[in-house]
Every structure is written in structure tokens, then in C-alpha cells.
Structure 1
């Protein structure tokens, strides 16, 4: 099976903080790109020693190379939103560690 058949369209959101009424910074995620990505759920039976991997709920692969260090990203898939906790743009694919956000 090819990963190309599992790719789905998603919207990449980047955090551009704005100043709130009280002067504090607040999150403001704006769309920056429409990309194709394949997302797989993590195996909950694996014992992982890294906190970075332990906190992620999904892994992703994409051809998109526009992720920049020091910026916060999210992926929006329909009504589902996932934080990009880690990305690596080296190689043919960009690898992503994702954490699903649940509201309410």
C-alpha cells in the first residue's frame, strides 16, 4: 500500500499572536497553506522514553517544507484540530508529531 492513497487535504495554521484588551498576548492562528498529509494514530502499546513522543497522539508525513523553527503550527482537518508538537523537514518527507486538541 502506498502512502499516496492515504493523503488527505488539511489546512496549516500558524500562530501570529495579537495583543488582547488587557495587553497580554493571545493566540491567533491564521491559515498559511493547504497541503496534503497522511496521518496515522500512534501505537499506544509502545513504550517510549521521550516526552516529545509520549505526548503526541498521531504521526504525519507530508511533502510540504514550509515549516519554520520557532513558530507554532496547527493542522485543521474538517472540525478536528491538531497541534504540531515537532517537525523535521530533512529528507523526502516532512515528518510531524501531532497532538489532537479536543474542545469541550
Structure 2
């Protein structure tokens, strides 16, 4: 019986060691993970005051957040986790007056805007 308990104990330790993310094994390939909207400065530079919602959606894609209580605001969020585990987040918000683009804010700014 003691040998069966020892085998179970060793098997439990092995499964715990392989399932735990505290151990980083050398040579394991880790990928960059992007979540949310992929936004570039070139995309932002295509925005012009007075564009319609449809035109903004064509340039930037579907916003990650469309708040029900503030329908004139769209939020685009891009979160990236690099292979080392460091996370970075960038935000971009567009504001509308009715159907027309009037303002932007966030980590990117269109060139030539007031």
C-alpha cells in the first residue's frame, strides 16, 4: 500500500508542476495577444470632421463599446500582451452630433484637426 500512495503522490506533484503557470520552461514559444480593435495612425488620419457614422465605421471598424446611455460616443480599445506578459492598452473615442463626427479623443489624434 505505501508504494501505491507514493506513486499517487508523485503523479499529483507532476501534474501540479505541469499545470501551474508559475513555472516558465525555457524554449516555450509565446505569442503576442491582441484584443479589441486594431487601430493605426494611418486609419485615424483618414477621419475628417463631418463624416457620417457609416463612414467612420468603414474606416475604423465596429467600435468595441457603444454605450446605450451615450449613443453619440463610440470607444475603440486596443489591448496587447507581448510574449513577456507585459500589457499595454490604447484608447480612441469618437463623438458625434446626430450622425456627424465632431470630435475625437484618446491616445491617437488625427493630423490637421483643430
TM-score normalised per structure 2: 0.24
Q: Which has the higher strand share?
A: 1
Q: Bigger radius of gyration, 1 or 2?
A: 2
Q: Which has the higher helix share?
A: 2
TM-score normalised per structure 1: 0.25
